[in-house]
């Protein structure tokens, strides 16, 4: 009874604890709901303010907004929105969702996230898609205390983000608004306007002496960095015209990319050209991995930027990062135009071996199967196609191991390519192709004069390797080569016939029997031991002496425990011994 009372007391305490936790969660939810209602109320007030302006100017409920045309001139932009009463001057500007490639490792590098507003109250959906995130939403998402964020500061940030020039000007005229205030993440209105490409707002903010044009957020990004990332050419031009904006600033807390690097990576060649036109842009700066702007341009195939960089005296066209030069990066990623441009530039070395990998531009292109790039490289006298990388693999080996038939064909068309060369493990490309079952590559290799299909690679010939793995098409090709020796034995006395029989490859056994049946008895022993009924029947039909069959029965099935699962094979052997 005492035990039951003790358990009942524990359950009561657990229930009380759960109830207190539930009440706490309900209180938190109500507090969040209260904050959201307050935010909705503030937005309702703002909409009511604009409705009042529309009624006062008496233009049919449309508010004229001063925007900026493409040629830089101011113009009036009338746009119906929200029940045809209020107009917001919003540019269709969404960041592209583009997957990048890591420069040195060929892996996904980063993805630019789109910036739709997560929650916009009291506005139609088509406008909600055009507005970047509200700072109040960001504060809520980060569980920050938004009660201490002044309303007018929030309004300035939101207006700068969506490009509302008129509202920004109205708020800047107030004495209680700090134009350089920082929101969560240390983001200023100028940073947000530059990131979203709001040129008119950026110009307005840059015209004030109390706005820092080169401020950094918590990620170390400046307005110029964000403009370069998103490809906002006109915004970048406005910022670069300032003497107090550093064009060489990098993202201190991420991977050290400068505005030039991020513009090149994201394919904004116009912004990159704008940056390269500035004499104070330092092209010797490297990111945290040691990549230069030229390596970024070569890796992502930006031909125009590569051409501009090669013309600069402070750019080293052979600089390595993780053992990869700009030429190697372009060759690995298959950028034919960049490879051709680099090969035609005086001073670019096409035969460099990267350290410590020992890779060359040709081996990297062969691994990825970029045959056009390989052709361009092979045209250079300084490129040795038989030069191995750090693993001991030549370009031909790299192409064969990767299974790139077209790349193998390009290499074998060059007489200087040695098809019989062995890798660090002492194996030839013919052996590997036979082992892997690449019949098309085996056929190409057998056309070369310096190929020997009877050569042992680690005590196994190409025919044995193909027979073991059941590659019937490869076995047929090898047996059709003049001078093939199907009866050759390894150091244990096994032939290709016995190997195929032990694995139960009846089609290959049939092909080998037609060429050389001298090892048929050992093949029968191995097939019977493996319980391969079809192979045993094939060998018995071909002709095996009766005494050999009896010997097989004694050797393989002499013990009763060996009979399990092999009854059909035993019946065949008894039948053919009679």
Average pLDDT over residues 564-571: 66
> In whole numbers, what is the pLDDT of the chain averaged over residues?
78
402-441 burial code (b ≥16 CB/10 A, e <16): eebeebbebbbeeeebebebbbeeebbbbbbbbbbbbbeb
In this predicted structure, the answer to whether residue 508 has a pLDDT above a threshold of 80 is: yes
Least confident interval from 5-19, 123-137, 367-381: 123-137
* Count of alpha carbons within 13 angstroms of residue 194, beta-carbon side: 30
State if pTM tops 0.85.
no
Beta bridge partner(s), residue 99: 111
Residue 48 — pLDDT band, cuts 50, 70, 90? confident
**What is d(CA 165, CA 88) in angstroms, rounded to the nearest whole number?**
10
pLDDT winner (highest mean) among 47-56, 99-108, 131-140, 536-545: 536-545
**What is d(CA 426, CA 95) in angstroms, rounded to the nearest whole number?**
52
Average pLDDT over residues 459-470: 94
Share of the chain above pLDDT 70, in %: 73
Residue 195 CB neighbours (<10 A): 24
At 442 the pLDDT is 94
Is the Cβ–Cβ distance between 189 and 157 less than 8 Å?
Answer: yes
Dihedral pair phi/psi, residue 354, rounded to 5°? -70, 150
Peptide linkage before 356 cis (omega within 30 of 0): yes
392-417: pLDDT as tens digits? 899 999 999 998 999 999 999 998 99
372-397: pLDDT as tens digits? 999 999 999 899 999 988 888 999 99
305-361: pLDDT as tens digits? 999 999 888 899 999 988 899 999 999 999 999 999 999 988 899 989 887 788 999
Q: Which of 506, 567, 504 is nearest to 542 (CA)?
A: 506
Q: Which of 248, 334, 255, 254 is nearest to 298 (CA)?
A: 334
**What is d(CA 338, CA 340) in angstroms, rounded to the nearest whole number?**
5
**Six token digits for residue 57:** 């100017």
Q: Which of 389, 399, 393, 392 is nearest to 369 (CA)?
A: 399
Matching residue, tokens 């935010």? 39
Average pLDDT over residues 37-47: 77
Dihedral pair phi/psi, residue 310, rounded to 5°? -65, -25
Exposed/middle/buried for 155, CB within 10 Å: 0-12, 13-18, 19+?
buried
Provide the CATH topology of domain 316-418: 1.25.40
Average pLDDT over residues 460-488: 94
Matching residue, tokens 């917001």? 88
At 323 the pLDDT is 87
Helix (H) / strand (E) containing 204: helix 199-206
Give the number of residues written for the chain: 578
Map residue 489 onto helix, strand or coil.
coil
At 5 the pLDDT is 47
Is the Cβ–Cβ distance between 204 and 172 less than 8 Å?
Answer: yes
Question: What DSSP state is assigned to residue 547?
Answer: H
226-246 burial code (b ≥16 CB/10 A, e <16): bbbbbbbbbbbebbbeeeebb
Q: Are strands 99-101 and 74-77 parallel, antiparallel or unpaired?
A: unpaired
């Amino acid at each position: 009874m005492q035990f039951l009372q003790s358990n009942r007391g524990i359950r009561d305490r657990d229930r009380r604890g759960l109830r207190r936790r539930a009440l706490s969660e309900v209180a938190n939810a109500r507090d969040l709901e209260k904050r959201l209602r307050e935010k909705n109320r503030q937005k309702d007030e703002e909409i009511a303010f604009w409705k009042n302006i529309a009624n006062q100017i008496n233009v049919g409920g449309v508010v004229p907004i001063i925007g900026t045309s493409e040629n830089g001139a101011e113009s009036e932009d009338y746009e119906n929105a929200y029940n045809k009463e209020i107009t917001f001057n919003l540019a269709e500007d969404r960041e592209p969702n583009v997957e990048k490639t890591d420069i040195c490792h060929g892996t996904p590098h980063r993805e630019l996230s789109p910036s739709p507003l997560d929650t916009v109250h009291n506005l139609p959906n088509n406008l909600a898609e055009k507005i970047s995130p509200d700072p109040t939403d960001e504060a809520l998402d980060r569980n920050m205390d938004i009660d201490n964020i002044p309303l007018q500061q929030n309004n300035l940030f939101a207006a700068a983000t969506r490009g509302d020039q008129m509202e920004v000007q109205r708020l800047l005229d107030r004495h209680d608004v700090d134009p350089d205030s920082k929101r969560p993440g240390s983001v200023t209105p100028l940073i947000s306007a530059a990131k979203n490409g709001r040129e008119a707002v950026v110009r307005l903010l840059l015209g004030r002496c109390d706005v820092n044009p080169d401020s950094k957020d918590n990620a170390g990004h400046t307005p110029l960095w964000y403009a370069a990332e998103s490809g906002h050419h006109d915004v970048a031009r406005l910022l670069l015209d300032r003497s107090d904006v550093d064009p060489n600033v990098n993202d201190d807390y991420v991977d050290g990319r400068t505005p030039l690097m991020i513009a090149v990576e994201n394919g904004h060649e116009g912004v990159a050209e704008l940056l390269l036109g500035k004499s104070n842009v330092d092209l010797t700066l490297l990111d945290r991995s040691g990549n230069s702007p030229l390596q970024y341009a070569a890796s992502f195939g930006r031909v125009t930027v590569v051409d501009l960089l090669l013309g600069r005296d402070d750019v080293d066209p052979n600089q390595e990062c993780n053992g990869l030069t700009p030429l190697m990066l372009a060759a690995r990623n298959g950028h034919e135009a960049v490879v051709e441009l680099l090969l035609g530039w005086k001073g670019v070395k096409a035969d460099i071996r990267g350290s410590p990998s020992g890779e060359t531009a040709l081996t990297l292109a062969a691994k990825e199967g970029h045959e056009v790039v390989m052709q361009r490289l092979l045209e250079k006298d300084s490129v040795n196609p038989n030069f191995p990388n750090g693993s001991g693999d030549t370009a031909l080996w790299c192409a064969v191991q990767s299974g790139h038939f077209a790349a193998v064909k390009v290499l074998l068309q060059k007489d200087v390519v040695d098809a019989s060369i062995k890798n660090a493990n002492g194996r030839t490309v013919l052996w590997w192709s036979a082992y892997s079952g690449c019949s098309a590559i085996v056929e190409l290799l057998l056309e070369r004069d310096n190929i020997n299909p009877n050569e042992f690679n680690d005590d196994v010939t190409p025919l044995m390797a193909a027979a073991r793995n059941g590659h019937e098409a490869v076995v047929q090709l090898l047996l059709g080569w003049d001078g093939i020796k199907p009866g050759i034995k390894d150091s244990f006395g096994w032939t290709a016939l016995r190997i195929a029989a032990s694995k139960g490859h009846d089609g290959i056994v049939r092909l080998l029997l037609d060429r050389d049946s001298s090892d048929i008895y050992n093949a029968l022993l191995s097939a019977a031991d493996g319980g391969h009924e079809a192979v045993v029947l094939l060998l018995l039909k071909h002709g095996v002496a009766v005494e050999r069959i009896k010997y097989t029965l004694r050797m393989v099935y002499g013990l009763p425990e060996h009979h399990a699962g092999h009854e059909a094979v035993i019946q065949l052997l008894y039948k053919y011994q009679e």
